[in-house]
Structure 1
């Protein structure tokens, strides 16, 4: 009886270690990813559009149960869950929610929600058995912490059943670790005062808190102005946090996303800012406190990095604000560049990222998996276990091949298996350790060998071709002649071999012998007339053939420049066909071509060229500068628009022969005025050296502020905005002009009030002369520190509305203006209505 009880408890423990509950993600602007497929695929049916925090949960088989943005709970059918509205999270809270299954009651789920910037921490309860399996919120908004940062994470207790939910108090250095047991949520937390005080400003509550997958470490990112990340040890038996390590001096607004590698050897951190490249750091653990740049390597640098989240495929996915892709760290257990950052790893099918990715119970992602090789029928499939679990007691494989009988399982860590039939097999590996186990299942495909048939050996006649098709679309091909296409066009005899690798990685091959007969399909052209001095070639080349000409030559061609009758006897390569052919050659003489005149052009224009010298029956052929034929006419040629030196050619033709080409040159001599200087802004009192090019003679207008108006490079000392015109002239009297504008920068004047009431007066916040500073950036904050508007290259257009286009209430707001990379101004602006 005791053995039976132990067995029942053991399999109860097994059922709680599902690995697919984190396989469905919904986040950003209606974006989603399904990790039940390989590779992961985009989901486009999500209903949440969240700025940051979100959470999803699937069942043990990876099927969606529900998801939330911290305010509204959506069912697996993407409708609002019964009583699933009005939760006290916030879509602009970094981690506005996390969903934790009850340790023993499969129907109950705890939804923890975190309010914005120093708000409270709550939990609600979902009973998924309600409403015909679509679920119902049966308890809502139970407050458990009055003041909380925007940080929350979860990981399994050391006993493998209970769950820790870990938060951090606002305006303190205290971690709160709450336990969920078989008896439900335990309201008395384990409180640890350790590390930095978080929340000295509203924005410093921002940033992710993560537990490592095995639950032995924590990491917290602290946003602007603190700009730091702390790493801690976590005792998953007692809930105590210890041994803080502080990493400082992040760029931009500071650290935002954090995530551990499955083997806990590395910590990954993103820093965030808009408009400037930010780093994705890899920190090798353990690490000591110090400057992040001295304690890490940057494995990627992009504008607008956001959250990081480990997935069930063992990769860490990287969010980039407003991107339609998720990036990936493909080998997070490897050091430096070997971690393989891949940009644009998953296309979101037109949906976009914002700042956040779903928050999960990090124990979902303890690394257990396998790789396999040998996927073609007849190959022995080799499996290699991948696991971050230490102290493995035993391994149990099921190859999904029931027909193989007792060969369908193995206890080896890296076994092999021979599949007798092609198909898809669901392979499962269970890794047993420390009284429990982790499991991983994936599909293994065994593919049929491709069938390759080039057909039977064949004989072709000369001039025929044979298209060989290796079939099997999408394969990689290698022919005996080195070509790599699916098809090969045969035009000569020989033995042709193709080897291919199908899209499934399986190989096939075939051979065909192609023989040839030869038809003599060459001969001399019809009788012809040639010009005096012209040489033509009589060519009857046929591969492998032999020849005898009337002059005794045995080559495939002869050169002729005299009149007469010429014959050739051709015998084919196979000595079974003979052909004799004859041609008569006569002379033709042309007169010289005369041209009325060449023309010099100062401006783009049409031109007319007249040629003379043709006899009756002859016409003129005209050609462009590349000697490409344009037209035949009676000697008058009208050009197109001429904008540069242009050559034309003309020759006489009688329809059979052509004369020598005569070159006709049109000279385009228009100068091009060029001012090297771009339109520019200078400080009042400075000078600008103008740099003109393009002519022989120069003149600048107006003369105001210039030291000389008739040289290429005068110096201007403008006292106000001015536009100069450069006039250039060449020896042929052709001119051209160019202009340059010089703006004189004056001190920026920032008003502290404006009245956006629609009366046409002072309706926008007008900062005088800011348009002279094209790299300016303007940020508007509420008095509580929330960013409500930001502008790049601000052009005096803000009318007192928020990011949603609605008018902001009258009152005082805080601004920060970066006039350029080195100059920052800040203060208060009052909206009066």
Structure 2
């Protein structure tokens, strides 16, 4: 593929998607080189340039180096002089830039200005490079050192034409041609007749004819520094990209002392901030202007200062990583660049760092500025993916380029706002155009989310504590389920169970979030009721229970009781609120239970052991037959006179004592001799008054002396 270039010592890129790559390699100063392909600058070697100020470099769409220049010599990608690439009329202490020739892929213009050191005698000139020649390594063509204006200062910059195809080369002349000059660059070449605007600036081709020009990204404002205009100043020029005319100028700053004159200038990527650096004094500073403020000059804020050695701020240049880098003119010389890490942030939040990038070699003043047409080029228009709209909601359609100044919009409904609010399904489109640039279109389809949900719920009523089973059903993808259980509790799973412990009626609702982030609701209402449970209780009269004496059992339950079920030893004996029972068999426990049921069918049971055989007799577990009056005799307490025989055995099973009733007791002797301390076993035989039923009970007692 053939490439042809014209030199301007300043870069212009044709396509927005590759513009940053074309500025990926910087060559400047005394052999300094940087590569930004990793995001941060990395030093590279091989730079053949030795330049105080003037420099420009350009790469291809993939970020591969093509060539670079100091305005006098052009070097190819191998750091060798490009054929016919010497003898350009620029100067190492002036300005240069590189711009592509519109409609001629691979051709570039190098535009250079002469320096005040030799009276700017050559004015502004341009040369052409064709990268098709020399096997794709490039050659400066016969279009070389073509003069545009013989009476010119060092300023030079470029702005994309309003038609988004052509370019304006912008500079300022000197006496007798003291005009703001804009040269139209098109596919047929550079029109040698400029659009001239008289801004009232009168200059001789001397020290006053130097400085920097920088356009904002929109190309509507051009900042111009004049470091030696008396005390030094910064002007802000209004520029018409359609006509090339300067339509007005305002002063941003005029220095009040000889030191501190403004030189380097650069805008942030958005154009909302402008940075300027000082020259001509020790410990120079860098300042920020807020371009969005009503009174821009009043926002002048110092954000950094050069403190390492004596010297001044050089040129200021934005990089592909959107950070702004600063070169220095220091004595002794330094081998590093400064950086503004966050140029969009106000004040010192912008993050100025004096020593940020080590170069390995010294560099003075210059950095390679480049022409960036990205802001106005027809970028891909993107309304985003198709949308499924939630029912009864709307969405604001906003394309990816809604904030571009000068853009016009036409929506499918005829509206011309940057955004469109829609609430109905359908296909919508927008046409987008920036000034006279090509129109681009994007289309989006809006549908309505039809997600539906339902439920499957088990029993919805029961006695508290009542557990309900919940199942959510949907044929669509659900990202979140929301069960509202009517008591302040919510569950966020599709299937769940919940236990109501407090009686009451609870409205249950089911909602869900669809894959389109829509809230979906089950229209079928659910009511869950947890019935109250009665509390069973009863009384016994008289107490304690004794054999052969009638006892009255009376219900004392609470909770709207409608049914009773009395059981004695698990046998149903009554279904009335009260019944009478007489215990006859007192050799087994007497268990009484009451189950009550309320009007909701909920039941409760109270069950007690009303009588135990042990309640008929008490047998101590120790006695002390030591001659005092405390516990000298071991004998049971027989409440009903049921003991018929009472026998005590030693550990060998020998009878040591025996009696016929509880009135008899063992005094701790055997045949009149005191029994030894120890544990003795006993057996008591009990019988009813009729001696029909008998029972033996067993135990042991400790004799203590």
Q: TM-score by structure 1 length?
A: 0.42
Compare CA radii of gyration and give the structure with the larger one: 2
Q: Per chain length, whose mean CA-contact separation is higher, i.e. which structure has more relative contact order (CA < 8 Å, sep 6+)?
A: 2
Q: TM-score by structure 2 length?
A: 0.49
